[in-house]
Chain A
Amino acid sequence: MNQFGVMLKKEWRENLRNYKLFWIPAVFILLGIMEPVSNYFLPQILDSVGNLPEGTVLEFPVPEPELVMAAIMGQYQLLGLLIFTLAYMGTIAGERKSGTATLLYARPLSFRAYFMSKWVMAQVIALLSVWLGFLAGYYYTYLLFGSIDFMNLMRFGLTYSL
């Protein structure tokens, strides 16, 4: 196995054993589900906890399913990126600071293999999280707002992934 493969295996084990492989996708799935659900129940939510004056009448147009999916991506752009940044910031600096990197640096390990393994693993988890969240969001959007052309949805997802 080449150095990149060895380091990628190490990253895989790390993300598996510190549960990042589970909790990051779980948060993205939650964000994906929350968008259609909160949109659907918005009138009831406002009615019960909105603290609106007596007799207020609000007309909410039912959003198009496509707009709900776009809003999910909006959430990912803001909260998703924040979660991802917090989860992976200081990955290399942390290993240097804790001294765990010393035993790696004392070997003929290329920085490229070291860095790329971390970057590729982070990208894999990012894509996995986005797609799982996206599909979960699509399912709830389909249930609550109606169907979307699946091919269009795939194109949208692929473009976002790029």
Chain B
Amino acid sequence: MVRQMGAPTVVEYFPWAYSEPRPGRYDWEHADLVVDHAVRQGLRVVARLDYVPQWARPAGTTTRYLDEARFPDFARFVGAFARHFAGRVDALIIWNEPNLAFEWGGRPPDPAAYTRLLAQAYAAAKAANPDIQVLAAGLAPTLARPGEEAAMSDLAFLEAMYSAGAGSHFDGLALHAYGWSFPADDPPDPNIVNFRRVELLREIMVRHGDGGKPAPITEAGWNDHPRWTKAVRPTARIQYTLAALDRVATWDWCPFMAVWAFRFPWPSRTFQDNWALLDEDFTPRPLYAALSAYSATGNAAQAFGVAADPSRLTLPRP
């Protein structure tokens, strides 16, 4: 269904714990199934790697907790993954949203520590497969204030990564672009979380001499849950997503935008359900049809015209 929708790339999550259930014993069976199926469909695969196995963390910690002493274990896994999937996986994303305490094992976000993790993972991946692209983790767009324990501003976190020397340890930066309740063309502002906030991250990259590196959007979207304060109406979700694709097409530094998320295996009965393009039973939601039209026309206005009746659109901002 991804291929039928017209998407050329998938960003897929490969939990470390699933593929290395015991130290040094790799089980690629499920990961092989996923990757081979995607490759056979003509899809490029970008792999996100994290999720710490039980053997690599202290009892009572979460699957996002990784002691610095265990960084080499993770790097070894990244190298093994890069070697095993050479020619089948194009890029690796090292960890997920480390600027959130939740994603950093319940500890305050630590950009210097993440940079050390990234450096070890980068070296291991390149040693195993020089052709693979290593992407620094997508950061959660947040408005966290300095000193907050739960989160660190994505802009401040990236600056601190560069200060810690991260620039020589990644080939590109993964971006997370969520629009919340704002249209896709809402201008970037450090005090607002909107789709174009990623331009601020890009500016930081350029300022640090990384303007030549790509920055793909590996998570993006709008949510239309009726109970979430940051959600939009279903029509706006479709219109904003298509407009975002049009905008990304003008950014030569952004090779693709991946919509979060294709499908969840079961409903959580929260707003999270309304990120998906399919119901859990694989029923396509209207955004899926609109994205299919977009891939066929390559133009948001035309795709929206296919999805809707353009003469009757009454949204405040097209």
A and B are partners in one complex rather than unrelated chains = no
Partner-B contacts on A (CB < 8 A): none
